[in-house]
Amino acid sequence: MLPTIIALLASYLLGSIPTAYLFGKALKGIDIRKVGSGNVGATNALRVLGKGAGITVLLLDILKGLIAVTFLANFFVFKTILGQEQNLRIFMGLCCICGHNWTIFLQFKGGKGIATSFGVLLGLAMKIPGLNIIVGLIILSWFLVFFSFRMVSLASIAAALTLPIYCFLFKQPLLLIGLGLFLCIFVIIRHKANLVRIFQGKEPHLYFNHPK
List, run by run, the mean pLDDT of 10-residue segments along the chain (212 residues): 88 97 96 91 92 96 96 74 74 96 94 94 92 95 94 94 95 92 93 93 77 42
The pLDDT of residue 82 is 46
The pLDDT of residue 208 is 64
The pLDDT of residue 131 is 93
The pLDDT of residue 1 is 74
The model's pTM: 0.89
The pLDDT of residue 81 is 45
Do residues 63 and 96 touch, judged by C-beta distance below 8 A? no
Q: How far is CA 140 from CA 45, 58, 163, 199, in A?
A: 23, 18, 12, 24
The pLDDT of residue 67 is 97
